[in-house]
Amino acid sequence: MKKFMTKYFGDRHFYKEVLIVAVPLMLQSLITTSINLVDNLMVGQLGDAAIGGVAAVNRFYMIGMFGTNGMITAAGIFIAQFFGARDKEHMQQSFRFSILSAYAITLPIFMLAYVFPEQIVGFFTNEPQVIALGLDYVKMACFSFLPTGLSLAITGALRSVGESRLPLYVSIATVFTNTFLNYCLIFGNFGFPMLGVVGAAIATLIARLVEMSLLLFIVYHFDFDFTTKIKELFHISGALAKRIAIKAAPLALNEVLWASGMATIFKLYGTRGPEVLSGYSVANTTTDLFFTLFQGMAIATTVMVSQRLGANKLKEARVNGYKMVGTATSIALAVSVLMFGSAFLVPKLYSISEEALNVARMQIIIQSFCFWIYTMNCQNYFILRAGGDTKNTLITDSCFMWLVNIPLLAILAYFTNLNIFWMYLIGQSTDLLKLCVSTHLVRKEKWVVNLAQHPEAEVISST
């Protein structure tokens, strides 16, 4: 027992360092998610069809954003390790790669949404009213993809060097801008026109422009080590670009596959009716309040593991990785109690049908019991990613989803008459198997690698 406690739990100094980094990002994510909840409540006042249509568009939006984050995260691993190695030049090159790769994904996503909106919304549902409202939303919301690419790149770089306070402040300003404009434009308050879901899309676009502007000001005002000039944007060494791309490709592929997998699951659950789509959206927005824990653990893992690896403190990085698992799981057990309680409160705030409300409550309750499993899987993923073990992150995340979870749900959706409760419960239970796989891969310790060593050479794994 003592050996177990020593391996998975740290001392006061360890937790102090983790919390200093993680708490601001958790607060940022909590604020963002809370405002998203308020936004969802506002759209929810327009009925099941409105919330279903917006949710369908956001599922497509997430495919692009997760793919972008995959590229940015890979560059962030290098930024963090070069930061640990005090290598400013390669930090800047990694940041440039992050910006360029972000737009290599967001621009095509914008074009698809702009040119083929009917096909995108129609993929998720065949309900005419849901499709109509989704089209109203996507025609304006798609423009928000453009500033988001740069914002994600800057935020990723800031977090990689352990700066989590400034993104928190930007997030606060952004989400309150979005909420205020939603209140004005959805319902026609303060003399603004009442635009419904179109108003929500306009509010999102303006908020994203505000976010980008504030982040650009911060980067150039504080002159971080990764800050680069626009004219030097394409100045990246071929060897470094290749190394980042090798790590980025599996991560980006994983994120795209994961987000598209979640969109497919959304569609499969939608076979049980539009009320299920509405309830599913309500539940996801509610549980996202608690999944903010993952954001904090992700950046804490970057600092506690990636930066140690870059400083060639391999033993300390290895020890910190296992302690992060114990820390995350302990917090998750406490948070799951709050999630369970939210199932009986938050869904009632929506103006949705009784059936949709029951779906939302059911999903939140099931997720509360499975929350510790999700958390351990995510923490294992963060550890593998911290050392650039991107192939195994692909295996444990999206490959598992497409080879196990989605085929199982497709069988249940199209070849059985099981109701949504049993479909959801069976689908979530597959995460136990995923936990066995991810834990095994972490224990193999292929993630204990110094990527910042000999930056122009091939990566040499050292354990």
pLDDT digits (tens, 9 = 90+) for 27-43: 767 776 665 666 667 88
Residue with tokens 């952004």: 174
pLDDT(458) > 50: no
What is residue 45's three-state secondary structure? coil
pLDDT(86) > 50: yes
Torsional sign, CA 270, 271, 272, 273: positive
Distance (Å, whole) CA 25 – CA 297 = 9
- Angle, CA of 262, 266 and 268, to the nearest 5°: 115
Distance (Å, whole) CA 150 – CA 211 = 10
Among 60-74, 179-193, 223-237, which stretch is predicted with the lowest mean pLDDT? 60-74
- Report residue 14 as tokens: 């360890």
| Helix and strand counts by DSSP (H, E) for the chain | 20, 0
Distance (Å, whole) CA 22 – CA 179 = 25
> Which of 206-232 are b and which e, b meaning 16 or more Cβ less than 10 Å from the residue's Cβ?
bbbbbbbebbeebbeeeebbbbbeeee
Split at pLDDT 50, 70, 90, the class of 455 is very low
pLDDT(136) > 50: yes
Cβ-based neighbours of 116, under 8 Å, separated by 6 or more:
none
**What's the chain's Rg over C-alpha atoms?**
22
CA-to-CA dists, residue 46 to 129, 247, 279, 348, angstroms: 12, 44, 14, 15
What is residue 311's three-state secondary structure? coil
Distance (Å, whole) CA 34 – CA 286 = 8
pLDDT(215) > 70: yes
User: Is residue 449 a contact partner of residue 435, using CB atoms and an 8 Å limit?
Assistant: no
- In sequence order, the β-bridge partners of residue 449 are 461
CA atoms within 13 A on the CB side of 79: 32
Segment 131-152 shows an average pLDDT of 90
Distance (Å, whole) CA 238 – CA 214 = 31
Share of the chain above pLDDT 70, in %: 94
- Report residue 392 as tokens: 């195994």
**Helix ranges (DSSP H) in 161-290:** 165-187, 197-222, 238-270, 274-287
Torsional sign, CA 425, 435, 364, 70: negative
User: Is residue 293 a contact partner of residue 331, using CB atoms and an 8 Å limit?
Assistant: yes
Cβ-based neighbours of 335, under 8 Å, separated by 6 or more:
290, 293, 371
Split at pLDDT 50, 70, 90, the class of 345 is confident
Distance (Å, whole) CA 455 – CA 463 = 18
More confident of the two residues 387 and 403:
403
pLDDT(4) > 70: no
Start-to-end C-alpha separation, the chain: 26
- Angle, CA of 366, 369 and 371, to the nearest 5°: 100
pLDDT(351) > 50: yes
